[in-house]
Structure 1
Amino acid sequence: MLNSQTFYNSRPDGFGVLEVASDPSAPDAPRKFVPLMRTALTGTVTGPLATLTLAQNFALPDQSTDILEALYRFPLPGDAAVTGVRVRFGDVEIRTTLKAREAAETDYKEAKRAGRQAALVTRESPDVFTLAVAGIRAGQDIVVQTDYVQVAKVEGAGWALRVPLTTAPRYVRADEADSRHADGQPLAVLRDPGHRFALDLTVREAERIASPTHALAVEGDRVRLREGEALPDRDCVISWGAKTEDAQPALRTWVHADPATEKAYFLALCAPPKFASAKKIPREVVLLVDHSGSMRGAKWEAADWAVERFLAGMSEHDSFALGLFHDTTKWFAERPRKATPDVVREAVAFLKTNHDSGGTELGVALEQALDRARVADTPSRHVLILTDAEVSDAGRVLRLADLESEKPNRRRVSVLCIDAAPNAALASELAERGGGVSRFLTSSPDEDDVTTALDEVLADWSAPVLTGLTLEVNRVRAEATGRTVALVVPGPASAVDIGDLPAGRPVWVVGRVPLDGDPLSFRLRTGAEVAAEVRADAGRATSGLKALFGADRVRRLEYVMTGGTSGDKLRAELARLSYDAADVGEEKVFAENARDTATKYVRELLVRESLAAGVPSSETAFVAVRTEAGQPVTGTVAVANGLPAGWSEPRFGSAGGAAFFSALMASPSSVASVDSMLMDFDGSDDLDNDDDGNTTTDFDPLERQRGINVPIPPAAPKFLYRKAAPPPPSVKVPAPQVPRPGKAPPLSRDIRVNVKAGQHVPADGVVLYDSATGGEGQLTFLAVTFGDKALTADQLDPELTLLLFVGDLASPRARVKLVDVLRQGGRRPLNVRRAANQPVRLALEDPAGAWTSGVPALEIVLGWKD
């Protein structure tokens, strides 16, 4: 059995990660983990709709004599609709059956006990699935194929598709520990988990196909990874532009008529134009900044910089509140305050002096934010959350957004999600229900500088705002996923609430309406003004819309089940989803009884809805059992997830389950090296005990992970030890820059660039610093000091920008406006990785010609960390 206090690649509850060392005497041999070898995503993307297949290949080395069961907790897009799972055992392919979860688990366990090959796919949370495969043996490949459809996000005039490749540990509240969603955790986390990801997509009617996260090889409409395979340590994001003849209009629709359900399913792209009537209006903004342990490092620094920059851009007509949250929430003031220069300075000081950290109590903080006093006569009210959203209590968090949406003076909720592998499902759903927008930024220094990306996102919040946007459809009883729908009088028509958006920001609306009646027509309004009107386009019909709508219904029922409602409140929540909740029962006095009654009632609805729609839920599962006789399983191993890029490597302790993950989130630490090991499964080192104490091979992977407590078997297993090979430079994550007891602080060799007055003429495009040599490291900050100490930000042209190039001298990794740096005290954070001997260039952009007579005297410091 693994000793979790000795081996960092083990789970505290006893799961091991099996590693095969072809030559144990060679400590530098490449690492090879089994049984998952490779994950590949294939499929076709047409317009915004992606029809995809995720194939997971399992195998054992030919010399292995073990019969293994593998457990892998893997991510899928939270807004995707899984339409089926197929399993191939060698040459035999079996399509799984979707059943109630308890029945599917029973089938799987019985098959495993009988020595038959089997596979089980369960859903823990909307974006995290568990795959159990029994009967993996040498010489036979096992492939599990998961089919799903997904709608791409709008990206300018084109689209973007986000494919999650790993799952980060999520904070679990004590009162959420028994929820299915709390199990949406990795079984193990390693910087190099031993398996790889491959991509092969066909993107039709597209141009300018690119990725901000991975190097691509694009041949016509075929898209693959340039290196063939990649370490699964971050989301894979693919973006592309629509062809010129297919440019986005203000309103575009796709419709699927389904006679079986007597419904028409629709997908509408609403892209409000930049009306001349759009204008800057007084805003009331509540800023919620995540200071939990998982935000440590570049994410924390960039988030704080973003807050400073945002506050500096507010006018004295705007009001704001500022809250910092982790285990608790600390507020700058009890009520929103006007954004005067003095108040802004006080808020920045408050931000910089509060560095305490802990867990991620996002829901508690959001409830306090929505409860803040509202400023009178403010037409635009917003909550802007900066977080990685790594929490498991999504049901209650989303319930807050639903309740807020019913208020006449509601606040819109938007999310800036910062992480290489964020909880994108929660962030997107929260923004949709909150009537706001969600944006995702990587925290990896190997990608774009996170602070530069935040600067670009926050520019949207300085744009003119369109308020009261609605999408009208000529039907009553319309339903729209994640949005409030109201009856239009006179009608017949329904109005779908879209929210307050910066002019020109597109959003999706997915819904369904009764099939009978006149041909479908849609109308986009901003207040009383009609922005666009279209009739349904049958030429763009697609059956995938029905699955997407069904998956959303299932997801929303799951959130209701975990949202903590009962009695009349539960009836109201279900009525919003068009369910008759007459039999839900009376309000209970004791919380335990109320929760059990509500959960039982919603679970029955959830199973029925899931099976009817043919999409999985947390209470249903896909199962496949091979009829041919096999061999008994001799051991169970967990497949590790890749440590998300930008995270410090966790040091596993003795805490278990939810407490372990909470501790990890609160204080992630760095591990310079870890020991790895091999367990030989020879029948004497089985992973479970019967009640009588006898060792058996019937280890139940379906027990709740936090309840597992597997004792050490009587016969000690054999171990082979060796030091793990160091991770490749491309995935190395630097340790936190906090001196440890007894250790020297990290080596720092800052780069100083001194410019004399008039040294560079003309100014625009001038190179201030250029170097093609140097070691590997990370640029951590940029500081600017002018020779003229009396120079202020108000005296600078706002378009003066420093461009930092690293490696690629054609595309800057960071764009730094001098005005912003000066307003924030002359220094801003960077998180830019530099490989050995990559060129580094610092250039000046002066499009207005403010410094055509020459650059003034200044000093620029680039912070450097080995």
Structure 2
Amino acid sequence: MEICGLVSVKNEPVPLKSISVEVRVQDHVATVSSTLQYVNEEERPLEALFVFPLPADAAVCHFSAKIGEQEIVAEVQERQKARDQYDDAVSSGQQAFLLEESTESPDVFKLSVGCLSAGQNAAVTIIYVTELAVQADHSLRFCLPAVLNPRYTPAGSDEVLETSDTSEISGTSEISSGCGAVPYTLTLSVHVSSPKPISKIESNCALDPLVFLHSDHTQATVNLSPGHMFDKDVELFVYYQDTHQPSAIVEAGVATAPTGSLMSDPVVMISLYPEFPEEEIKSLATRGEFVFVIDRSGSMGEMMHHGKGAQMRIKSAKDTLLLLLKSLPMGCYFNIYGFGSRFESFFPQSVEYNQKTMDQALKRVKEMQADMGGTEILEPLKHIYSQPCYSDHPRQLFIFTDGEVFNTKAVLDLVKSHTHSHRCFSFGIGEGASAALITGMAREGSGHAQFITDTDRMQPKVMQSLRFALQPAVVNISVDWTLPDGVTVDTLSPPINVLFQGQRTLIYAQLKGESSGGSEGTVTVKYRLKNQPVTNQLHFCLKPTEETELSIHRLAARTLIRSLEQKERSGGADVEGIRSRMVELSVQAGVSSVHTAFIAVNKDSRQTVKGPLLQRRVTTHDLSPVIAIMQANCGQLRTCGSHLSALYADEQSFRCSKMMFPRAFTFLKMSNWEPKVTAPKQKIGFMTRIQNFFHRSSATATAPSDQTDSKSKNDAVPDPQKDWTLLQLVFLQKASGCWDLSATLADVFGKTEDELTNQKPAQVDGSVWATLLALIWLYGCKIEQQVEWQFVAIKAASWIGSQKVGDLSQCVHVGNVLLGCQVTKETLGI
């Protein structure tokens, strides 16, 4: 059985001492240099093994090791050739380093550090480039995955590490304040430059003050504050002015590269933000089949974050389902799936959305728990795709998961094979979400990906994706280039299958030939939206941008390699030719791929190796008696649940051990073992049942920071009571969009039912009055959370519009006086 970190056969201290990270952000691209400092504290040579995550679409482009004053720079080779060279070097006593990408998930890498002498230090440097994702608030998100994090703890993980050796490392462990201190230090510095002024930089971690290097605010630096505990992903959010302006970066090729190769020619990266006609943006679809797929594995019972007031992941998902169910348009179809080691659906097939089916679904949502074992998403997806689609109701898939699966590429291939029959919107919950899985499902399913980490509120991000899902589908998308005579273009990115208002689209292309005089190119995107032709254009300069350090070429190569990988997995003719092309691209561009590896050998070092090399992994604690259980093989682990329950009888200790040994607990989840954790019992009164069920977490998005501040995104914590009132109001809404006049509704407003009834204008129906008050309260008291209740309000306004209401302006005036608001009739959208 594989356990966490870098642990020797004697479970002795960690050889990883420090991590230093430098990030250079240039507009939408980040170049990241990470240096990991190791030391061999053994009395004989050591082989260190380390598995760690990187961003899903990162292109690893440099790997080197420095031993003393000597630096060894790795080269990219065909994978098996690199492995053979590594094995030969280590067995002959030479120092060697091998960096490989997982065959199952492109965001997991394995580093083998071979034959470190006793007491010797080694500094390993890895450099990669990655695109920065655009967030709902228009910021660009950079994420540094925590090395000590059970993020990639796949079920049946031999495929990930390609070994059955029980001493191989499997993943990494998350450290909480209750479990001890991280054994190494992390330093992080960031340099940001952009043609557009930088507004601010925020983070989920504490930062030093932001320093602008120029008066026009186009360059800035910021550092992670000292003392950071690397116990979670480090997220940075970069805000530019005019983020949504289309842009192009042209990067010159390498003069010494083979003529006609990708690296020899200029490459252009186009960033587009398609602009939809205003009238089409406002006309949201009223049809569709909405399928919500909720992860109910054991890990969903963990907290969203480790801070005060954290909410369980499954609880946040249930609150979000409430908002989604209330926001759906009448007459659409829907279903809800829960999955773990098995899966189940609320209805045999999607049903029409009405009051009856909504009530049935809400009852089931209340009963949902994180009680379905492991995380197996492939089978429920197969079942969903096997269901026939409804005519004129395009299928929209919403998938919520913390992303711990081993067969990422198989899942992505399945989603891609059904891309023409649905759109997929994916949500990574908590620190354990695999970026490769979440972003990959959205990309292959022509949808949109969101990450809900730390103190993020799930609801705003999900509602943004619902708005995308309700947008009319864009069809017949084409990309045309207009270039000077003598210049041709070879598009490297896959064809565009989907466009959303406000969502960025990236295109990579290779420019061939020499211009006969022109210095400008044009890219034109054409499509049809609700049978209307739309054209967006971008003019760009062909002059190469300086100081890009081949980052655009490497990202373009990575994009092309990913497309070739998918072709290879789909089978068909010339698989060997596709694989050969991938290896050629990878070696020429110097970027990682599934068929290559980085290999570095110190040929000057050689020593006699007596006996087997020690193997080590990261650990941070003296290992308790439970280590004996953890090191047992898979068959023995099937019977160890009772021992674990006895050792960890309280919830805090159990959670702590689970963080230390994620692989073992993942196996136990697969075996449907659940810990017998004792917890204090609580008495719940009738008046607090609804409140407790839909009680909001105190975790939320931060308040806006000062323009020059670099603040933590979890500085601001809202009042849970205020959040509860919003969810209670939503809970009381009917499927049609109206509310009934009741004491419970009056309680939300802080009034009595008599106060609401006595102020009701004559000749106005009770439901109309209640619905009007609900709208006034939302716009007057909850405007800062409008993104969460926008569709609830649209339904309510539409319902009122269908009723016969006398003097609506007078009704709004009376409602304002009653609730202490100042909302105009026009604001309500009636």
TM-score normalised by length of structure 2: 0.68
CA 1:607–1:740: 2 relative to 1, 3 Å:
closer
1:536 corresponds to: 540
CA 1:188–1:637: 2 relative to 1, 3 Å:
farther
Q: Pick from 150, 154, 167: which aligns with 1:168?
A: 150
The alpha-carbon deviation at position 401 of structure 1 amounts to 2.7
Contact 2:202 2:236 in 1 (8 A): yes
1:629 corresponds to: 605
1:302 corresponds to: 316
Q: Which whole-Å CA distance do the structure 2 matches of 1:504 and 1:607 have between them?
A: 36
Q: Say yes or no: does 1:277 pair with 2:277.
A: no
1:364 corresponds to: 379
Q: Say yes or no: does 1:123 pair with 2:101.
A: yes
* SS of aligned partner of 1:145: strand
Contact 1:44 1:202 in 2 (8 A): yes
| RMSD, matched Cα | 5.0
The alpha-carbon deviation at position 848 of structure 1 amounts to 11
The alpha-carbon deviation at position 377 of structure 1 amounts to 2.0
Gaps spanning 5+ residues in structure 1: where?
20-32, 486-495, 572-580, 585-599, 644-648, 675-723, 755-777, 805-811, 824-846, 857-866
Q: Could you tell me which amino acid in structure 2 is paired with residue 374 of structure 1? A: C
Q: How many residues align?
A: 663
Q: Say yes or no: does 1:745 pair with 2:679.
A: yes
CA 1:642–1:76: 2 relative to 1, 3 Å:
farther
Contact 1:162 1:238 in 2 (8 A): yes
* SS of aligned partner of 1:536: strand
Q: Which whole-Å CA distance do the structure 1 matches of 2:678 and 2:382 have between them?
A: 43
Contact 1:335 1:373 in 2 (8 A): no
Q: Which whole-Å CA distance do the structure 2 matches of 1:65 and 1:421 have between them?
A: 36
CA 1:818–1:271: 2 relative to 1, 3 Å:
closer
What do the CA deviations read for 1:693-746 (whole angstroms, capped 9, x no partner)?
xxxxxxxxxxxxxxxxxxxxxxxxxxxxxxx9x989x99x9x9xxx99987523
CA 1:78–1:848: 2 relative to 1, 3 Å:
farther
1:265 corresponds to: 267
Q: Say yes or no: does 1:256 pair with 2:232.
A: no
Q: Which whole-Å CA distance do the structure 1 matches of 2:649 and 2:185 have between them?
A: 21
Contact 2:5 2:170 in 1 (8 A): no
Contact 1:801 1:816 in 2 (8 A): no
What do the CA deviations read for 1:229-249 (whole angstroms, capped 9, x no partner)?
432x3222111111x4x5432
Contact 1:169 1:390 in 2 (8 A): yes
What do the CA deviations read for 1:314-351 (whole angstroms, capped 9, x no partner)?
11132223222223332233433221121111222233
What do the CA deviations read for 1:271-321 (whole angstroms, capped 9, x no partner)?
233522221112222222222223224222222222221111011132223
Q: Could you tell me which amino acid in structure 1 is paired with residue 498 of structure 2? A: I
CA 1:187–1:325: 2 relative to 1, 3 Å:
closer
Q: Which whole-Å CA distance do the structure 2 matches of 1:423 and 1:182 have between them?
A: 21
Q: Say yes or no: does 1:620 pair with 2:620.
A: no
What do the CA deviations read for 1:614-643 (whole angstroms, capped 9, x no partner)?
212233221212122344567423323899
CA 1:157–1:537: 2 relative to 1, 3 Å:
farther
Q: Pick from 343, 347, 351: which aligns with 1:337?
A: 351
CA 1:779–1:317: 2 relative to 1, 3 Å:
closer
1:638 corresponds to: 616
1:789 corresponds to: 744
Q: Could you tell me which amino acid in structure 2 is paired with residue 389 of structure 1? A: G
The alpha-carbon deviation at position 803 of structure 1 amounts to 14
* SS of aligned partner of 1:384: strand
The alpha-carbon deviation at position 362 of structure 1 amounts to 1.4
Contact 1:172 1:392 in 2 (8 A): yes
Q: Pick from 553, 557, 571: which aligns with 1:546?
A: 553
CA 1:363–1:312: 2 relative to 1, 3 Å:
same
Q: Say yes or no: does 1:403 pair with 2:417.
A: yes
* SS of aligned partner of 1:85: strand
Q: Could you tell me which amino acid in structure 2 is paired with residue 111 of structure 1? A: A
The alpha-carbon deviation at position 71 of structure 1 amounts to 1.1
Report 1:107-256 matches (<5 A). Answer: 107-124=85-102, 125-137=105-117, 140-155=120-135, 156-166=137-147, 168=150, 170=152, 177-178=158-159, 186-189=170-173, 191=175, 194-205=183-194, 207-220=198-211, 221-231=220-230, 233-242=231-240, 244=241, 247-249=243-245, 251-256=246-251
Q: Say yes or no: does 1:439 pair with 2:450.
A: yes
Q: Which whole-Å CA distance do the structure 1 matches of 2:645 and 2:785 have between them?
A: 28
Contact 1:170 1:662 in 2 (8 A): no
CA 1:727–1:207: 2 relative to 1, 3 Å:
farther
Q: Which whole-Å CA distance do the structure 1 matches of 2:620 and 2:524 have between them?
A: 45
1:555 corresponds to: 562
Q: As a proportion of its length, which structure holds more strand? A: 1
Q: Could you tell me which amino acid in structure 1 is paired with residue 244 of structure 2? A: Q
* SS of aligned partner of 2:774: coil
Q: Which whole-Å CA distance do the structure 1 matches of 2:366 and 2:774 have between them?
A: 27
The alpha-carbon deviation at position 200 of structure 1 amounts to 0.9
2:441 corresponds to: 430
* SS of aligned partner of 1:797: helix
CA 1:350–1:749: 2 relative to 1, 3 Å:
closer
2:336 corresponds to: 322
Q: As a proportion of its length, which structure holds more helix? A: 2
CA 1:740–1:556: 2 relative to 1, 3 Å:
closer
Q: Could you tell me which amino acid in structure 1 is paired with residue 452 of structure 2? A: L
The alpha-carbon deviation at position 815 of structure 1 amounts to 11
The alpha-carbon deviation at position 123 of structure 1 amounts to 1.6
Q: Which whole-Å CA distance do the structure 2 matches of 1:662 and 1:211 have between them?
A: 45
CA 1:371–1:120: 2 relative to 1, 3 Å:
same
Q: Which whole-Å CA distance do the structure 2 matches of 1:117 and 1:104 have between them?
A: 14
Moved more, 294-303 or 42-51: 294-303
What do the CA deviations read for 1:553-597 (whole angstroms, capped 9, x no partner)?
333444555x4x44xxx23xxxxxxxxx2xx5xxxxxxxxxxxxx
What do the CA deviations read for 1:207-252 (whole angstroms, capped 9, x no partner)?
3443442111133111211135432x3222111111x4x5432x32
2:524 corresponds to: 523
The alpha-carbon deviation at position 203 of structure 1 amounts to 1.0
Tell me the percent identity. 19
Q: Which whole-Å CA distance do the structure 2 matches of 1:741 and 1:448 have between them?
A: 27
Report 1:383-532 matches (<5 A). Answer: 383-405=397-419, 407=420, 410-442=421-453, 447-448=454-455, 450-452=457-459, 454=461, 457=464, 460-461=467-468, 464-465=471-472, 467-468=474-475, 470=477, 472-474=479-481, 478-481=490-493, 483=494, 485=495, 496-499=496-499, 501=500, 503-512=501-510, 520-527=521-528, 528-532=532-536
Q: Which whole-Å CA distance do the structure 2 matches of 1:536 and 1:213 have between them?
A: 36
What do the CA deviations read for 1:657-693 (whole angstroms, capped 9, x no partner)?
7x9999999x99897599xxxxxxxxxxxxxxxxxxx
2:297 corresponds to: 292
Q: Pick from 70, 82, 92: which aligns with 2:70?
A: 92
What do the CA deviations read for 1:816-866 (whole angstroms, capped 9, x no partner)?
979989x9xxxxxxxxxxxxxxxxxxxxxxx9996765689xxxxxxxxxx
Q: Could you tell me which amino acid in structure 1 is paired with residue 296 of structure 2? A: H
Contact 1:135 1:630 in 2 (8 A): no
What do the CA deviations read for 1:466-498 (whole angstroms, capped 9, x no partner)?
6338351328985453x4x3xxxxxxxxxx333
Gaps spanning 5+ residues in structure 2: where?
176-180, 212-219, 254-258, 303-311, 483-487, 666-672, 689-718, 730-741, 749-769, 796-811, 822-830
Q: Say yes or no: does 1:79 pair with 2:64.
A: no
Contact 1:384 1:413 in 2 (8 A): yes
What do the CA deviations read for 1:591-612 (whole angstroms, capped 9, x no partner)?
xxxxxxxxx7765454334223
Contact 1:164 1:421 in 2 (8 A): no
2:584 corresponds to: 608
2:758 corresponds to: none
2:39 corresponds to: 59
Contact 1:469 1:524 in 2 (8 A): no
